[in-house]
Structure formats: structure tokens, C-alpha cells
Structure 1
């Protein structure tokens, strides 16, 4: 009996070894072009796309960082085709390596292509088994090609620089940046409009930089507007937890820069008669004094009271401006429709078909509470110490 069990065990062991000898779809690293960034622009030729693929050149990058070699740590391969996959296939000619998307960091859509709609182009990435749904989706203020070709000083690979910039933004708030999963989830939801960061390239004194300059607002999959940084701060404050950012205040007594240490909001949606909707927001924000200018001969207590009042006014204006802009664009970026669908399904049946027309009629009731509770290592500035009133 024991001998029979041993034979069975040996057969099973051999079978397991045969099954774990390798992967059917493994790919050798030296046969791949590792794509770290993809740019998609509208072409001058109707129906075509101008495609840009940022490909890491690991060996060159390491030599340059170490002081040797003069080649860039990446190359940009370009293609023109009606299809993204067709453009990738066309790059096989004249290229000894296959494009590999698994390590792609970011997908950048030019503003022209975003205004035409993104569903057709997202389809390619969602079907591709190499695409990660965590890849970041952003919109270039102009064209995606110029963004990918920007040579930043701190991070040599543009896509890596952008990915790190997004991670920095997400330490403040997770609501402005969007990955493919979040973007497509909002498209599937149909009532909630996608948003994502807008990046632009700047050059001054020969130095190239990339900056986030606002937030792209979509209606379905079509780019319909861009909120500036002022409106964008109002949006993220009204969405949930915020753990950073600053508030600049200009008053007749002096100027101040306050740091947001924490912020949170309570949301409530009230359905009234005749399909009227009220959106109630209660926001509580804690701030710290980062910098004071002037406020000559004023006590710290008086300055704090003034800053609380001015900060409340500033945040209220930003939040209302953001909400009003979303209504002008008829884009429910706050997910109000999704909330009604979930908690009031019967009422939603009457609203769903005309949601674009109903959304601009929603009334906003806003309550903002600010608390300036930290003045830094000192309380009074040098100007304030010149004698109190």
C-alpha cells in the first residue's frame, strides 16, 4: 500500500513539474520596447490620429545619470493611423522590438481629440490585455506630443515626472486626478461626468517645465470645458477630504497665505415637489498661517478673526464658482444623479432622460466653516510688533 502511494505521489510530482516549466505568453525583455507614455492627437488628415509613444531606453538613462553617455533616457516613436492598434502595428516595421504597454504610466489626450470624444480610443486600451486600469488619463492644454517631448530637469522621463506630479496632487486630494478605471466607470454610470487634470508645457529662460493648469470637464466622453485652478480648488473642497493646498488672501490691512491642514464636507440631496432638487453642502476647513505681510500694529487675535472671515468668503466664492460652471456646462461632476439613482430609484426614472436639462436647475445651499488654528513658530510678525492699536 505504501509503495503504491509513493508511486502515485511521484507521478503527481512529475505532473506538477511539467505544468510549471514556463508561461505560454512570456516575452523576452530584450525583444520589447517598454512604453512609458502614450500621446494621442488629432491629425491634420481627417480621420487619422497622430500617435506618440514614449519608450524607455534603460541603458542610456543609467549611463547619463552616472555621468557617462549623452543620449536621452527615452525615445519618442510616432505613427499616423486611423486606429491606435494600427499605429502600433505600423511601428513594427523598422523596429526590432515590439511595443509593450504593461508599464505604461500615462495616456495623454490632446485637447482637439478630447473635444471630439474619447470612447473610441479608450476602447483600444481597455481591450488590450497589457493595459493596466490604473494608468493615468490626462488632457493636454494643446497637443500631447509636445508634453511627452518635454525634457524636465528633475525627472528625465516625462511620463515618470507626470506620474509623480499626480501622486503629489493626490496627497492633497484624490478627486482631481483620474485613472482609466475611474474615467470609464463614470462613463458607464452615464449621469456622472468625468473630470481629469489638464497639463501644459511652459518654457522660460530655456528651462522647460510641466504644470497642471486646471481640470478638464467632460459631458459623457466629450471635453466641454476647462476649470481653472481657482474653480478646481472649489470642486475638490466640495467632494470630500482635503489634506493640503493653500489659500491666498488679499485684504486692505495686509496679505496672507494660509495652508489647508484638513477639510471635510457633509452632503445632502433633497428632492422637493415638481422634481426640484436642493444640494446641501456643509464644509469645515482647518487652516494654518503660512505667511503674513503687513497687518501693521494689529494684534494676532484681531488678525486671526480677520483671516477667518476672509477665508470663509474666499472658499465660499470658489465652491459656488465651481458649481455654477458645472451647471453652465450641464456636466454633473459631483455625482448628484448617481446619488438619486441609488437612493431614490423611482424619482430617478422621471429625471434620467432629461438630466442634462434638470441639472442646471439644482439649488445649492452652502455652509462654510473655517478655523485658523495655527500661526506657526511665531504668533506676531515683525510689522505687527511695531505697536498694537
Structure 2
């Protein structure tokens, strides 16, 4: 009996000890360099890259050791190399902490790197088991390092600020941003041209701010141009559901600031008997008045009719401007070729090799409907009544 009790006691003791032990492969926080942003720029030496890694600071308290004020929220570590992996390894050799990439928010390509082709660098990240496929891919209007080193006012870590800015954009439209999975899937597709947001750093009233200034357009993996925000809005309206945004209307009688409440787009791709292709877009947009200026002495119904007509013209112009620019760049950003490949595989076989020259010849057939509804809490501008009897 005593032997049995001793055996039971020993088993309970062992199980208790096992419960108290931690996971053998856990990584302690103070042994890691948590990477939150990666920048890739063309190196000063031919064939080399300048790599920038934004690393979040991990402090036990909010003050620097020795009482020297608040700790910096991040630090920038740099390395040089011909390949991304070599640059990461070089940084690891000179670092007391292990680089941890699983919390990385953004991969930013400098414009020079983007113009030379990004496929080799994306290949490195995709092979790295720590890289998340959901990481956002951006192009810096100039260099990537300056974006990562920007000290923004609200979010102290610029990569976190960029992620939150992207999520704000995606609340309006999911087509405004691109992660690594979406970018590489378009590369594999070969006919659809990837696009990414362009980010730039500016100064306003002595403060550094980050701002999205448009989108980068690629042909295969090489950036062939940048579209401004005007053209980018045309692209977003052409791709599907839009749940926000604004539209400025300027006329000889007055001006209006409109809110895009909701917009939808139906796409149709028609192949003609002679091999000609028509890209049909039917856009339906619901608008609301954000502000009215002037329109002195005019009836509100006439103002709404005038502004609604001008809004329709403005949306048509934006959509056409984006489509024309994509044709000039020979970059199928709409996925027209992918649609033909899927639904007309026989015809696609004859088009695939010459798609870059076929795409600029596609005819756009555009139909835009606008419905200007709510005028807000007040119907007229503060000076519209002037001149009324």
C-alpha cells in the first residue's frame, strides 16, 4: 500500500513539474529585434542594395536607462548587399538580438529599385518562412529609407502609421492597396499589371507627414509609371464597390464639395468577330452634398441638377483618364487579359504573346449614372437666398 502511495505521489509530482515548465522553443522578447518595416533602395555601389530595417524598441519602462528622457520608439538598422538575404544575414552577424520578421508591416521599394524590377526581392521574401504574405507592398516616391525614418506625430512608428493609413483607404475600396500575395499572384498571372500605393514624405508647419500620392503601375515586375490621385480614383471607381471619398465640383455659378456615399461598377468584356475588344463599364454613384459655395439667387433644385450633371462629367473624365494612361503604359491594370484567358481560352492563345500591343487598342465603352441625394441638415448655401424675392 505504501509503495502504491509513493508511486502515485511521484506521478503527481512529475505532472506538476511538467506544468510549471515553459515551452522549450519560446523566444524571449528581449532576445529579439522585432522588424516592423523594410526598405529597399538602390545602393551607391553598382549592383548593391541599401537595406533599411525599422526595429521596434523593446523597453522595460518608458524612460531610457539613466533617466535620459523617453526611449525612441524604433531604430533604423542598415545593411548593404547584392541580395536581400545577404543583407539580412549581415545584419544578424552584427546584432546581439535575432531579427524577427513575423511582425513586419510593410515592404517599401525605392522608386529606383521599382524601375529596375522587384521580382528578385519578392522571391527572397516569399522563400523566407518568417515573412507573412499579407505584408503590404509600397513604392516610395523617392527613397524607402526616408519613409521608414519619418517621425510621424500621431503614430510614432511610421510602419504602423502606414498600416493604419492603408486600412483607412481599404474602408473606402479594397482596390486601393496591394499586399505581397496579391502582387505576386498578378505576376504569376502575367497579363494583369500589379499596382501599389505610392507614399511620399512631406513637411507641413514644421511637422513631417506621410501621404499617399497615387499608385505605381507595373508591367510584369518593372514599374513603368505613377498615376496621381486623380487617375487613381478613376481606377477605384472602375473596379467595383466604393464606400467613400469626395468629389470637388467647380462651376461659373458656384462650387460644391460632394461625398461619395456609395458607388458600384459592372464590368463586361466583349470580343468582336474581327478580334476587336470592347471594355464596358457601367458605374452607378450615389452622392451627398458636403458643402455649397455661392450659387447666388438660385433655386436649390436647379443647383442640385447642375451639380449632379457636373459630377457625372467629372467621374467620366477621371475614369477615362486612368484607362488612357494604362493604355499608354501598356499595362492591363483591370485584368481584362485574365478574364479573356478564363472565359475565352481558345482566343487567348492567339492574343497572349501580343497582349502588350493589343491592350492599347481596346475600346472603352463607359456609362456613368450619378444620383445626388442628401444635401445635409440645410438645403441651401448661406448666400443662395440672396437675390430671392
- Normalized against structure 2, the TM-score is what? 0.92
SS at 1:273's partner residue?
coil
Cα deviations by residue, 1:192-248 (Å, 9 ceiling, x for unpaired): 000010000001332100000000000000000000000000000000000010000
Give the aligned partner of residue 379 of structure 1: 379
Q: How many angstroms does 1:88 deviate by?
A: 1.2
| CA 1:118–1:60: 2 relative to 1, 3 Å | farther
Residue aligned with 1:198, SS: strand
TM-aligned CA deviation for residue 187 of structure 1: 0.4
Q: In structure 2, what is the equivalent of residue 58 of structure 1?
A: 58
Aligned equivalent of 1:196: 196
Q: Which residue of 1 aligns with 2:3?
A: none
Q: Number of residue pairs matched?
A: 373
Output the CA distance in 2 between the equivalents of 1:25 and 1:124: 25
User: Hey, what does 2:232 align to over in structure 1?
Assistant: 232
Q: CA deviation at 1:332?
A: 0.2
Alpha-carbon distance in 1 for matches of 2:331, 2:86:
33
1:258 matches 2:258:
yes
Say whether the 8 Å CA contact 2:106–2:135 is kept in structure 1.
yes
Distance 1:340 1:219 in 2: 18
Listed one character per residue, the Cα deviations across residues 129-186 of structure 1 (whole Å, up to 9, x for unaligned) are 1111100000000000000000000000010000000000001111020000000010
Structure 2 equivalent of residue 206 of structure 1? 206
Q: Does 1:289 find its partner at 2:289? A: yes
Which position in structure 2 is the counterpart of 1:276? 276
1:59 is paired with a residue whose SS is coil
Residue 48 of structure 1 pairs with residue 42 of structure 2: no
The answer to whether the 8 A contact 2:57-2:75 is kept is yes
Cα 1:79/1:365, change in 2 over 3 Å: same
Equivalents in 1 of 2:28, 2:60: separation in Å? 19
Deviation digits for residues 246-278 of structure 1, max 9, x if unmatched?
000110000111000000011111100221000
Deviation at residue 92 of structure 1 after TM alignment: 2.2
Pairing 1:218–2:218 present: yes
Which stretches in structure 2 are left out of the alignment for 5+ residues?
A: 1-10
SS at 2:103 equivalent? coil
Q: 1:296-333 deviations in whole A, cap 9, x for unaligned?
A: 11111001000110000000000000000000000000
> In the alignment, which residue of structure 2 is the partner of 1:75?
75
Residue 69 of structure 1: how far off its partner (Å): 2.8
Q: Which residue of 1 aligns with 2:162?
A: 162
- Tell me, what secondary structure is at the counterpart of 1:298? coil
Distance between the aligned counterparts of 1:388 and 1:339, measured in 2? 55
Q: Is 1:365 matched with 2:354? A: no
Mean CA deviation greater in 350-359 or 93-102 = 93-102
Distance across 2 between alignment mates of 1:76 and 1:87: 14
Residue equivalent to 1:8: none
> Which position in structure 2 is the counterpart of 1:6?
none
Q: Are the equivalent residues in 1 in contact too, given 2:62–2:71 (CA < 8 A)? A: no
In structure 1, the partner of 2:118 is 118
Misfit runs of 4+, over 4 Å: 21-25, 60-64
Between the aligned partners of 1:68 and 1:173, the Cα distance in structure 2 is 44
1:60 & 1:312 partners in 2: Cα distance?
57
Aligned to 1:302: 302
Match of 1:322 in 2: 322
Match of 1:357, SS? Answer: helix
Q: Specify the alignment match of 2:334 in structure 1.
A: 334
Note if contact 1:134-1:180 (Cα within 8 Å) is conserved in structure 2: yes
Residue of structure 1 in register with 2:4 after alignment: none
| CA RMSD in angstroms, aligned pairs only | 2.1
Is the Cα–Cα contact under 8 Å of residues 61 and 73 in structure 1 kept in the other structure? Answer: no
Match of 2:6?
none
Q: Secondary structure at the residue paired with 2:174? A: coil
Please report how far the alpha carbon of residue 38 of structure 1 lies from its aligned counterpart in structure 2 after TM superposition.
Answer: 0.2
Distance 2:241 2:92 in 1: 46
CA pair 328-27 structure 1, distance change in 2 beyond 3 A: same
| TM alignment of 1:111-190, pairs within 5 A | 111-190=111-190
Aligned to 1:7: none
Q: Distance in 2 between matches of 1:362 and 1:181?
A: 28
Look up the match of 2:8. Answer: none
Q: Is there any run of 5+ residues in structure 1 with no aligned partner, and where?
A: 1-10
Deviation at 1:388, TM superposition (A): 3.3
Question: Shift in Å at residue 25 of structure 1?
Answer: 5.1
